[in-house]
Amino acid sequence: MQKQAHSSKVWFITGAARGIGLSLARQALACGDSVAATSRTLASLQQAFGKSSERLLALELDLVNEASVQIAIDKAIATFGRIDCLVNNAGYGQQGTIEALSDTELRHNFDVNVFAPLHVLRHALAHLRARRSGHVFNVASIVGFQGGYAGWGSYVASKFALAGLTETLAAELAELNIKATVVYPGPVRTGFLSKDTLVVAGRSIADYSEAQSSLDLHLNGLDGKQAGDPEKVAKLILQAASVPEPPVHLFAGKIANTLAEQKMQAVRQDLEAWRGASDATDFTEKRCWKRAN
Ligand SMILES: NC(=O)c1ccc[n+]([C@@H]2O[C@H](COP(=O)([O-])OP(=O)(O)OC[C@H]3O[C@@H](n4cnc5c(N)ncnc54)[C@H](OP(=O)(O)O)[C@@H]3O)[C@@H](O)[C@H]2O)c1
């Protein structure tokens, strides 16, 4: 474990009025940092944070609207002078089998979970790049590493997309001294699975019984009983923000760690079992492909 150092930071955190985002914003404020906290409604930020403070900027924005995101980022920089840690945290779960999900359901889930973080990055990265410093945290989910959850294809795919773009971002930003971390929480006890937040597909197809059982379990068996503590997940993010060499992949919780190990083993098994046949698909002349750098 690397040594931690705390110098005051400026955070931009989406979806900071509740759940993991709120815990992170509160802990950052308690450390003496400044926070630009976003939500779809100012009232929920006011309710979450109570009295205003010089180190808190509450921003109402529609993450799906790029112009609204740009205004929020510009306000954060005008207020605090910079952004050090950018946290794409806002997101929601969309249930439904791949066959049953409508185009509108899928696209909206991707708008919030993938294209909104891209809006934030598109407008904030120029500032981080100019200063040659900063740290981007994209909050994905362990399902975006493990995959294979019947009935959750939209959410899973959106989190895989967020993870994939974070890995690429880490490669692009390395020379600019900017870090990128994808956070993979396991189940965390927030309002994420509540009936008000989780979006259930408008259509269900009775043949997909495993997907229905999974939905029933998540709505009636897991909500409120998740193993992860949002305060501790937030603390882990703060810890990763404070070390000189943060991880690109940050798993949060025992369940996330176990599922990640299972996934890596399963991929290794497939790789080994098909290695010979797979290698044989190359042309036979001398290899000229080489990984850049
Ligand atoms: N809880 C878990 O088990 C778990 C596990 C793995 C990953 N995650 C991820 O962790 C992140 C935070 O989730 P959480 O557990 O803290 O859940 P949460 O308590 O439901 O908070 C979700 C946040 O995302 C924002 N959000 C939700 N739907 C939105 C929409 N349609 N448009 C814009 N913003 C929206 C909300 O902002 P508003 O204030 O605008 O409502 C809210 O602050 C999410 O990306 C989630 O996918 C959660």
Nearest alpha carbon, ligand 1 atom 21: 19
> Distance between CA atoms of 202 and 96, rounded to whole angstroms?
8
Q: Is 18 in the pocket of ligand 1 (CB under 6 A)?
A: yes
pLDDT tens column, 66-86: 999 999 999 999 999 999 999
First to last CA, the chain: 27
Q: Where are the domains of the chain?
A: 10-92+105-190+228-273
* Other C-beta atoms lying within 10 Å of the C-beta of residue 118: 16
For the entire predicted model, the pTM comes to 0.95
Position 220 scores a pLDDT of 85
Pocket test for ligand 1, best of 13, 41, 192 (most atoms within 8 A of CB): 192
Question: Across residues 285-290, what is the average pLDDT?
Answer: 65
**CATH 3.30.70.20 at 10-92+105-190+228-273, yes or no:** no
In the predicted structure, residue 6 carries a pLDDT above the cut 70: no
Which of 92, 149, 155, 184 is an active site residue?
Answer: 155
> Distance between CA atoms of 72 and 49, rounded to whole angstroms?
18
Between the CA of 263 and the centroid of ligand 1 the distance, in Å, is 24
In the predicted structure, residue 266 carries a pLDDT above the cut 60: yes
pLDDT tens column, 37-73: 999 999 999 999 998 799 999 999 999 999 999 999 9
Active site residue 155: yes
